[in-house]
């Protein structure tokens, strides 16, 4: 029956397996019907799946397949074998073009070919960088011409300028996702400014823009000016993410402010704003359609309700996240909660003590939360329990520990049953629980907690105990009693070395995905810098 499911049903199955790359690969083997649907899914962003598996061989296999998709004439002109071909032209399924990622994979592939067949490929060694560049460029050109569903571009420094390739204007004018990650160091910036110049003229329908930048030294850096122009040129920018910015932010932000009618998501991460010219939080009030706001590990803010009318601001906000160990205007958080409480479904206030404001307000006013994250200690633990009691629809809970808070010896008794107290107050709707504290509990307490949750009908999908370094085989076998037999989609633990091979084998058999915060065998990370040929 499952072998002949309608394509829409298969698509739903593959969506459920979105975090399980290995299971997706297994779907290819069911029959031709499943194979075609799975191939579309896996090859829409193959670099992403290779990254998930973190295996060097996967990158080499992927690029070998892509190279075989090139025409025999192109391969022959590049000095490559031209008598092999693939079952499909896999590039037609691709939704992303990542020039630097392709180029890095080509280098891995070529190095491996030279090592395995030196007589055949050693002639390419003398001009290796040029060969890598030419193969990478040929692949990019093939993708642009043949991909039927291209939606995204990912750019780094030292790029192949994909915007000057044949048919680039026609195809890349339609991309809706644009990611760029680069360093502004003169020795590393490469051709990116030239690439961005063409991008500003061609790509004007970007809806999702993600910028990560390092080492900005000048306020008027040329790459920042190009990015500012790129932002201004967009017709319907919806999501904007900025990470690791220093000088030049205000030039960029001025362009972002011009998108006040269309932006629905703003994410600012790891930015040290200028101390003499801090970030004006009240300017966020002009984005009337804002639905998602995240401010994480940034520094230097000002907030004033006198500077702008915010009576109609933040009304549509559904997700609000602040992760902040630095001083932050708490009044801004309360204004957000007050303005948006009818629609807000996700609240995350992490690394801040919220026992006197955020928690009491949420307990009193929020009964429809789906996702809540906070930092706790013994003093606000009971407030968290109170929030759980009034959140019957809560699906996701994340808790970590306030920094610099030490548990006193006389608090040990209080802590003894804290895990069971959580279980007793969990709503039945809870699916995802992250316990990111190093508070220790014994196996009996863990067993009681699991029993309470199971008897309440809580069907966990993800459990994360990444800080619980005291876990051993006994804890995992106890977990399998209640949530084994493939009930859990994902389990995250502290250290792989804490468990026996037999135990891990059994857990991996009964749980969808098992991850560890440490103790993994060394994984392969695709990160290759290129020196240009003279």
Q: Give me the pLDDT at residue 532, please.
A: 45
pLDDT digits (tens, 9 = 90+) for 150-189: 999 999 876 789 999 999 999 999 999 999 988 877 767 7
Q: Give me the pLDDT at residue 49, please.
A: 73
**Of 103, 112, 107, nearest in space to 140 by CA:** 103
Tokens representing 490 are 């994902």
**Of 468, 464, 475, 462, nearest in space to 495 by CA:** 468
Q: Residue 513: helix, strand or coil by DSSP?
A: strand
Q: How far apart are CA 488 and CA 486, in angstroms?
A: 5
Eight-state DSSP code of residue 409? G
Question: Residues near 179 by Cβ (< 8 Å), separated by ≥ 6?
Answer: 152, 153, 154, 155, 209, 210, 211
Q: Give me the pLDDT at residue 533, please.
A: 42
Tokens representing 394 are 């809560």
Q: Is 384 exposed, middle or buried (0-12, 13-18, 19+ CB in 10 A)?
A: buried
- Residue 371, number of CB atoms within 10 A of its CB: 19
Phi, psi of 321 (to 5 degrees): -130, 130
The domain spans of the chain are 1-42
Identify the weakest region by mean pLDDT among 8-12, 278-282, 417-421, 476-480.
8-12
Q: What does the H/E/C string look like for 80-125?
A: CCCCCCCCCCHHHHCCEECHHHHHHHHHHHHHHHHHHCHHHHHHHC
Q: How far apart are CA 392 and CA 409, in angstroms?
A: 34
Band (pLDDT 50/70/90 cuts) for residue 4 is low
Pairing of strands 319-323, 396-401: unpaired
Band (pLDDT 50/70/90 cuts) for residue 502 is very high
- Report yes or no: 303 and 310 within 8 Å, Cβ to Cβ: no
Return the beta strands (E) in 357-409 as ranges.
371-376, 396-401
Q: How far apart are CA 72 and CA 163, in angstroms?
A: 25
- Report yes or no: 391 and 344 within 8 Å, Cβ to Cβ: no
Which residues, in sequence order, are bridge partners of residue 375? 400
The mean pLDDT of 417-437, rounded to a whole number, is 95
Higher pLDDT, 219 or 453: 453
Q: How far is CA 314 from the centre of its chain?
A: 25
Query: The whole model's pTM is what?
Result: 0.88
H-state helical runs in 118-248: 118-121, 128-146, 168-172, 192-202, 222-232
pLDDT digits (tens, 9 = 90+) for 100-154: 999 999 999 998 888 888 877 777 767 888 889 999 999 999 999 998 889 999 9
pLDDT digits (tens, 9 = 90+) for 67-100: 999 999 999 998 888 777 777 788 888 999 999 9
pLDDT digits (tens, 9 = 90+) for 310-332: 888 999 999 999 999 888 999 99
Instruction: Give the residue carrying structure tokens 């003229």.
Output: 201
Q: How far apart are CA 319 and CA 292, in angstroms?
A: 5
Phi, psi of 209 (to 5 degrees): -120, 125
How many angstroms separate the first and last alpha carbons of the chain? Answer: 61
Higher pLDDT, 474 or 188: 474
Q: How far apart are CA 295 and CA 321, in angstroms?
A: 6
Q: How far apart are CA 362 and CA 356, in angstroms?
A: 11
**Of 356, 391, 393, nearest in space to 377 by CA:** 356
Q: Give me the pLDDT at residue 534, please.
A: 34
Question: Residues near 87 by Cβ (< 8 Å), separated by ≥ 6?
Answer: none
- Is residue 12 scored above 50 in pLDDT? no
């Amino acid at each position: 029956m499952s072998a002949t499911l309608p394509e829409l049903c298969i698509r739903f199955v593959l969506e459920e397996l979105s975090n399980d790359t290995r299971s997706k690969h297994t779907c290819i083997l069911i029959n031709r019907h499943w194979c075609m649907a799975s191939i579309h899914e896996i090859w829409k962003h193959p670099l992403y799946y290779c990254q998930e598996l973190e295996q060097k061989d996967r990158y080499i296999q992927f690029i070998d397949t892509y190279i075989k998709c090139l025409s025999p004439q192109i391969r022959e002109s590049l000095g490559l074998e031209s008598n092999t071909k693939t079952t499909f032209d896999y590039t037609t399924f691709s939704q992303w073009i990542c020039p630097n990622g392709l180029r890095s994979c080509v280098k891995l592939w070529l190095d491996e070919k030279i090592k395995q067949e030196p007589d055949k490929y050693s002639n390419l060694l003398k001009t290796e960088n040029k060969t890598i560049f030419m193969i990478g460029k040929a692949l990019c050109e093939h993708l642009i011409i043949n991909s039927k569903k291209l939606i995204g571009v990912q750019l780094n420094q030292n790029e192949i300028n994909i915007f000057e390739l044949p048919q680039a204007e026609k195809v890349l004018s339609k991309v809706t996702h644009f990611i760029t990650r680069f360093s502004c160091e003169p020795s590393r910036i490469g051709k990116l400014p030239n690439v961005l110049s063409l991008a500003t003229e061609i790509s004007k329908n970007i809806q999702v823009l993600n910028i990560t930048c390092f080492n900005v030294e000048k306020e008027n850096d040329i790459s920042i000016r190009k990015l500012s122009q790129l932002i201004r040129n967009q017709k319907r920018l919806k999501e904007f993410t900025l990470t690791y910015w220093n000088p030049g932010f205000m030039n960029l932000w001025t362009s972002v402010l011009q998108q006040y009618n269309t932006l629905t998501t703003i994410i600012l991460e790891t930015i040290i704003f200028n101390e003499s010219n801090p970030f004006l939080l009240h300017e966020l009030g002009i984005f009337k359609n804002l639905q998602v706001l995240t401010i994480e590990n940034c520094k230097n803010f000002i907030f004033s309700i006198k500077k702008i009318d915010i009576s109609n601001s933040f009304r549509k906000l559904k997700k609000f996240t602040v992760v902040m160990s630095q001083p932050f205007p708490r009044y801004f958080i309360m204004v957000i909660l007050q303005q948006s409480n009818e629609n807000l479904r996700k609240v995350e206030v992490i690394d801040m003590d919220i026992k006197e404001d955020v928690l009491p307000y949420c307990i009193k006013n929020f009964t429809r939360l789906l996702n809540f994250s906070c930092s706790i200690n013994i003093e606000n633990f009971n407030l968290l329990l109170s929030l759980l009691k009034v959140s019957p629809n809560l699906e996701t809970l994340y808790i970590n520990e306030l920094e610099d808070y030490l548990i006193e010896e006389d608090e040990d008794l209080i802590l003894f049953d804290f895990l069971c107290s959580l279980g007793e107050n969990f709503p039945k709707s809870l699916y995802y629980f992250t316990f990111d504290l190093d508070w220790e509990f014994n196996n009996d307490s863990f067993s009681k907690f699991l029993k309470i949750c199971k008897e309440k009908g809580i069907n966990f999908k993800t459990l994360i105990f990444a800080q619980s370094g005291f876990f051993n085989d006994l804890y995992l076998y106890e977990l399998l009693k209640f949530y084994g037999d493939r009930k859990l989609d994902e389990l995250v633990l502290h250290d792989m070395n804490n468990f026996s091979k037999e135990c891990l084998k059994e857990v991996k058999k009964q749980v969808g995905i098992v991850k560890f915060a440490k103790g993994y065998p060394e994984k392969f990370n695709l990160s290759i810098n290129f020196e240009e040929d003279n």
